[in-house]
Chain A
């Protein structure tokens, strides 16, 4: 590894993640004195998340388009690719906190630990996205998942929440074992855990063979569990249904985005070579196609909206994995021919489409879960499709927001979801894999059916008589409004966001750690 392993200046490069960890520790303190638990610490955590978001945006503005600071002997990098994902994670965390500030007091469960754990998980995601070494990526992943296990089981007197935590923990720990074994085999074959060195070994032809390929397969299986791609998805619906709604929103957006960012980093920086691509690209194609088909078709059968959104999120992972296929396919067969001479443009386009989709999906999905949270009443879980009946008459603005979120999930023009899908499908078509895009389009049509079922319930069915509804707090209103505002903004004026995504994508391949 180049350079000294630790310099004091490295801590500055760690800045945003470190700020979150310090913030999380401070958030734990006020509960010792506060008369009502969480009364001080919860808003404080929100403040820290917003301040870190401002810090990340500031770092982006001052960052150099042609270089990025690295730390710890090059194993950690704060490039625009990582910064873009940091923004996604922080937005997801802030909106999830907005949902939780509304819901937790109803369960009489407002405490500082909950918000501190969200901050810890976010810091883990940031480390994972910035890692250029398998060890750093894995440690970030563990910080994220260990925090998420606790958050899923946070309502520990609720059977559903505890059960969700148990399932998430067992399958999460199992997948960690598989992922680690894959990493150890890759280390064994290449002699390094440092991604550029792994790539160097691939280029020099000193790596390869059965054990190495097995390592790559196990790595994909491990990440497949983390992003809940079919056939590794069984845990997702139960966990998403049972976890507190704020946490469901958080792990289904930021959690998946973090795992996808790490996959992109590992495959596009470390495992970049035509031989290894012949192993992972076909596997990712299968994961993408299976996730799109099974996720969307199973979502048709659901009556619980949280569970329906869980299956739909499996389908959305399929769409995003198409972007990874587009990135990788330029190394294999048809893609390589299609990209002769313009490979770098297409690489950037593919990565940028994943970045923009992660941003769009975060606003959309968290927004949809926020509306589910708003429906919760004293006697009512607010999670079934029937609970949405007549919402347009009772609360027209909330119904309108849900309409926007569902249209964006389905990918209807003038919403952000359309822009995201347009670029992902465009990327696979450019990579000469139009058949995969066809599956994606057909499945989007299928998904419109079950999203519209909720719309029909909201707008065309009468409201049940005399049902008491909990008032929606102002913080939840702000959460929904913010998500809806950005979805319409990105849907109508996508260009600035696409430019940012493109700049982020360009940084994934800064020559300094490829040389």
Chain B
């Protein structure tokens, strides 16, 4: 398949992710949408690496995956902390300070 197909797929994934972050109200759904954005990045990086014939992009993908895992660990811990205090995962109800 030509490069443009992969980049189109990546762009579609990225836009779905961005829309999810902007429109959803549940913190877990928002977080999943962010992960989708990161996966869109991975698709783009891998496709470009193949296109350029180098390994830079492929290596970048590994780092993105590793950091995304670390991010998930920190993020889920924060979600649990806030759920204990407020018994909710809805961002519109987490508004002690103005959002």
Contact = CB atoms under 8 A, between A and B. Distances in A.
Contact of A187 (B40, B60, B91): B60
A165 B45 contact: no
Interface stretch (A57-65, A146-154, A355-363, A438-446): A146-154
Contact of A180 (B31, B41, B91): B41
Contacts of B30: 170
Nearest to A214: B11
Contacts of A337: none
A160 B81 CA distance: 12
A188 B96 contact: no
Contacts of A173: 31, 34, 71, 75
Residue in B30, B47, B56 whose Cβ sees the most chain A Cβ within 10 Å:
B56
Contacts of A157: 85
Contacts of B34: 170, 173-174, 177
A135 interface: yes
Given A188-B51, A193-B56, A163 B38 contact: no
Given A139-B63, A165-B78, A170-B91, A177 B37 contact: yes
Contacts of A174: 21, 34, 37
A181 interface: yes
Given A142-B67, A180-B41, A187 B57 contact: yes
Contacts, number: 124
B78 A162 contact: yes
A169 interface: yes
A167 B31 CA distance: 12
A135 B45 CA distance: 12
Interface in B58-82: 59-60, 63-64, 67, 70-71, 74-75, 77-79, 81-82
Contacts of A183: 41, 60
Contact of A149 (B51, B74, B96): B74
Contact of B71 (A146, A156, A162, A164): A146
Contacts of B79: 166
A185 B44 contact: yes
A143 to B, nearest CB: 9
Given A174-B21, A188-B44, A188-B48, A169 B78 contact: yes
Interface residues of A, number: 43
B60 A160 contact: no
A166 B31 CA distance: 11
Contacts of A156: 81
A181 B34 CA distance: 12
Contact of A170 (B27, B48, B70): B27
A370 B37 CA distance: 38
A163 B96 contact: yes
Contacts of A234: 99
B96 A160 contact: yes
A160 B85 CA distance: 10
A192 B54 CA distance: 9
B38 to A, nearest CB: 6
B97 interface: yes
A177 B41 contact: yes
B97 A146 contact: no
A162 B31 CA distance: 16
A367 interface: no
Given A159-B86, A170-B30, A184 B45 contact: yes
Contacts of A242: 96-97
A436 B71 CA distance: 38
A191 interface: yes
A10 interface: no
A181 B37 contact: yes
Contacts of A177: 14, 17-18, 34, 37-38, 40-41
A163 B96 CA distance: 8
Nearest to A165: B78
Contacts of A185: 44
A386 interface: no
Contacts of A238: 97-99
A241 B97 CA distance: 9
Interface in A312-367: none
A163 B97 contact: yes
Given A162-B81, A166-B82, A170-B91, A181 B40 contact: yes
5 contacts: A165-B81, A167-B99, A174-B37, A188-B48, A193-B60
Interface of B: 7, 10, 14, 17-18, 21, 27, 30-31, 34, 37-38, 40-41, 44-45, 47-48, 51-52, 54, 56-57, 59-60, 63-64, 67, 70-71, 74-75, 77-79, 81-82, 85-86, 91, 94, 96-99
Given A170-B27, A187-B48, 16 more contacts: A157-B85, A163-B96, A163-B97, A166-B78, A173-B34, A173-B75, A174-B34, A177-B17, A177-B37, A177-B40, A178-B18, A180-B41, A183-B41, A184-B57, A191-B52, A238-B99
